[in-house]
Amino acid sequence: MSADAAPAQTPPPAGLPPRVGLFVTCLVDLFRPSVGFAAVKLMEDAGCTVEVPAAQTCCGQPAFNSGDRADARDIAKAVIRAFEGYDYVVAPSGSCASMLKKHYVELFDGDPAAMERANLFSAKVFELVSFLTDVLGLDQVEAAFSGSATYHDSCSGLRELGIERQPRKLLQSVEGLELKEMQDSDVCCGFGGTFCVKYPDISNKIVSEKTRCIEESGAELLLAGDLGCLMNMAGKLKREGSRIEVRHVAEVLAGMTEQPAIGEKKRG
Amino acid sequence: MHITSPAFKDNARAALDDDALQRALGNVRSGFIGKRAKAAAALPEFEQLRDAARDIKDHVLAHLDLYLEAYADKVEASGGHVHWAQDAEDARRIILGICEAKKARTVTKGKSMITEEIGLNAFLEEHAVTPVETDLGEYIIQLRGEHPSHIIAPAVHVNKDQVEEDFRRVHTHLDPARNLEEPTTLLSEARAVLRDKYFQADIGITGANFLVAETGSSIIVTNEGNGDLTQILPKTHIVVASVEKVVPTLEDMSQILRVLARSATGQDMSVYTTLSTGPKRPEDPDGPEDYHVVLLDNGRSAMLGSEFQEMLRCIRCGACMNHCPVYHAVGGHAYGWVYPGPMGAVLTPSLIGVDQAGHLPNASTFCGRCESVCPMRIPLPKMMRHWREREFSRNLNPAAARYGLGLWAFFAKRPAVYHAAMRLAIGTLSRLGRRSGRFASLPFAGGWTRFRDLPAPQGATFQAQWAKKRKSA
């Protein structure tokens, strides 16, 4: 297949396991690889073959949201080229998945061939948890966690991809885990990509409101599906001296919580 | 109005340090959101109504010249006068001209953002005409010498105790020992003071929520009845409206009204919906003898056909700012001009230039809550991004940010180089952070670590670990 020709759209062959290309996301790659391994385990347990193309870096959001369409378009083309051969493209992040699924197509106005290719690609892209439930039909996981957890709805996943009940459904099947809803779980945590360093005072005010809601929930563990939001909320909770632990939802669903929580030191 | 949008960051910091303001902003979060959600949920066809409202305005914007001419013809036919104003200065001159012709000394005003946009009050005062705001919130901020901080709740940044102080300071003809503890007593006092003003006024000025092409009517929606008294009692009524307010028919207006109040305050309808069509006719018991409409462009026609055209669907309900975490944090004045919140972040650069208002479309987390509640389905985050594109292509964003982005993009477009560089960087960072699991401060990361810790990387990158695992498998 030549690099620039759109491949023929073939549905996953019946009987063969679906081939999934894992879009790791830059933050998981750099800061929390255990989320990537949890994603691989969850999908393999559900019967998928998972591969990780090396030709991936970032989804391109920093460029796209900074008004740099040219670089965003170059990155989008590279991601599409690296992943379009898979049956599915899955990312452990609503924000990055939405960039791939919803925003890449916006980058190719006036280039019908590239647009068509971005549209075909878009149909294959899913955020991890909603992929497990909505595509693979999973309604429970084999995992245990002793304690109470609260779930933050990250903005892009919630409002661009409709991810709300899926993580809660799977979390309810985790043995020993009690879900305690926080107030305003659907309100932004103040991360916003480069926003949090461009407008640190405002970001701080927003995340302070969020950590108040998290504390008031009474939960011992904070979960969400996006590492950017999680690092922001964990960073604030730790700065405030909170004992609440913070993890990506995939770690708990995969039963892989042996690594220290986000921002915590190694035990022992 | 003086523009402070370029100082957005300083404005925001001052707002965050202002305890009284922060107390007042709590009311935005606790009040509007729940009421809107309840009103929307109570109406099964609410989402379809949003579609219909969007479609009506899209149709109008595609044929704006046609509907404006039809509207103007109807106004003239009913005995009114239509004035076309290219910009704010034009509009001010036209309004002053009418005031001078009528030898007006006092004008009462209904709540109107468009007169804020053209800076009408200060201009009239300079020319010896006294404007009197009659909406309670507008009246309060006029006493305080301020500007609205919210498009439907102009004094939302003011607390009740502050209003009490202002009333005692200004209403010196009243008993100083009177009790003003209850909000209703403040309301009654304002109502009594304003009552005389309505009768003294030579001219009443209102904005318009809609202009109806079919009938030549202008429509205002209010909750206090002040708009009715403003436009009925004086001998002259001036309507000031921007060109995109026109809708084809009364039926269209009614459709959009069904989403307006629900989105704004959670009411099914505002208390008063008032139509005015031309001056008083011989058989009418009351109404103005003279009826003028000032139609303002002020940059809007330049938005037609651009990536910002959809912004002209806005009906000024305020739902976007009511749901905006940035607005909740800093309030409306920080935005530095007339229109705050997400709608202001898109509209303000269109009207005063992105070189002045560049911060506004950047000061957003793109959380998308504004778009999710906008009754007109305006894609606000997308249009803020379009402003960022304009800024980027004009090199308006800070050099450090451009340099950083360029460097990042160089690596992001070269996966092999990227992975090698990140292996090194992350290796170092994770070694440094191993002991505590996080950083309380880090060079070049001050924007992050000033307020929060930075979680340390776990160890080797995922890509490095994955490659190793595959090799050994």
| Nearest alpha-carbon partner for A127 in A94, A104, A150, A176 | A94
Give the CATH architecture of domain A139-253: 3-Layer(aba) Sandwich (3.40)
Whole-number pLDDT of residue B443: 83
**What is the per-residue burial (b if ≥16 Cβ within 10 Å, else e) of A28-58?**
bbbbbbbbbbbbbbbbebbebebbbbeebbb
List per-residue pLDDT tens for chain A, 268 residues long: 344 444 444 556 677 899 999 999 999 999 999 999 999 999 999 999 999 999 999 999 999 999 999 999 999 999 999 999 999 999 999 999 999 999 999 999 999 999 999 999 999 999 999 999 999 999 999 999 999 999 999 999 999 999 999 999 999 999 999 999 999 999 999 999 999 999 999 999 999 999 999 999 999 999 999 999 999 999 999 999 999 999 999 999 999 999 999 999 887 5
Whole-number pLDDT of residue B398: 87
CB-CB: which of A33, A68, A236 is closest to B392? A68
B90 reaches A (C-beta below 8 A): no
Please give the sequence-ordered ranges of beta strands (E in DSSP) within A13-155, or none if there are none.
19-22, 49-51, 88-91, 125-127, 144-151
Residues of B in contact with A33 (CB under 8 A): 458-462, 465
**Banded pLDDT at B445 (limits 50, 70, 90):** confident
**CA A75/CA B413 separation, integer angstroms:** 6
Shortest alpha-carbon distance between residue B240 and chain A (Å): 36
Q: What is the arithmetic mean of pLDDT over B454-458?
A: 96
Residues of A in contact with B440 (CB under 8 A): 239
Whole-number pLDDT of residue A4: 44
Q: Do A30 and B466 touch (CB under 8 A)?
A: no
B422 reaches A (C-beta below 8 A): yes
Shortest alpha-carbon distance between residue B459 and chain A (Å): 8
Q: Which two tokens stand for residue B8?
A: 């957005």
Look at residue B118 and give its three-state secondary structure. coil
Q: What is the mean pLDDT of chain B?
A: 96
Q: Do A31 and B458 touch (CB under 8 A)?
A: yes
Every domain range in chain B assigned CATH 3.40.50.10420: 64-296
Q: Do A231 and B463 touch (CB under 8 A)?
A: no
**CA B157/CA B22 separation, integer angstroms:** 8
- Chain A and chain B share a number of CB contacts under 8 A equal to 212
| Nearest alpha-carbon partner for B217 in B154, B265, B273 | B273
Whole-number pLDDT of residue B397: 87
Per-residue CA distances from B428 to A206, A254, B41, B114, B460 (Å): 31, 29, 53, 57, 10
Every domain range in chain A assigned CATH 3.40.50.11810: 139-253
Edge-to-edge order in the sheet of strand B210-212 = B246-247, B210-212, B217-222, B272-276
Shortest alpha-carbon distance between residue A14 and chain B (Å): 27
Complex prediction ipTM:
0.95
Q: Do B409 and A68 touch (CB under 8 A)?
A: yes
Q: Do B462 and A24 touch (CB under 8 A)?
A: yes
Shortest alpha-carbon distance between residue A187 and chain B (Å): 8
B437 reaches A (C-beta below 8 A): yes
Give the CATH architecture of domain B64-296: 3-Layer(aba) Sandwich (3.40)
- B199-240 per-position pLDDT tens digit: 999 999 999 999 999 999 999 999 999 999 999 999 999 999
Please check whether residue A222 is in contact with residue A246, taking contact to mean a CB–CB distance below 8 angstroms: yes
**Which H/E stretch holds residue B54?**
helix B46-62
- Top residue of A26, A29, A109 to mutate, by most chain B CBs within 10 Å, is A29
Q: Any idea which residue has 């911060």 for tokens?
A: B359
Strand partners, B238: B205, B292
- Top residue of B428, B451, B461, B469 to mutate, by most chain A CBs within 10 Å, is B451
Shortest alpha-carbon distance between residue B300 and chain A (Å): 23
**CA A237/CA A262 separation, integer angstroms:** 11
Q: Do A266 and B437 touch (CB under 8 A)?
A: yes
B395 reaches A (C-beta below 8 A): no
Look at residue B303 and give its three-state secondary structure. coil
Q: Do B451 and A31 touch (CB under 8 A)?
A: no
Whole-number pLDDT of residue A268: 55
Q: Do B329 and A57 touch (CB under 8 A)?
A: no
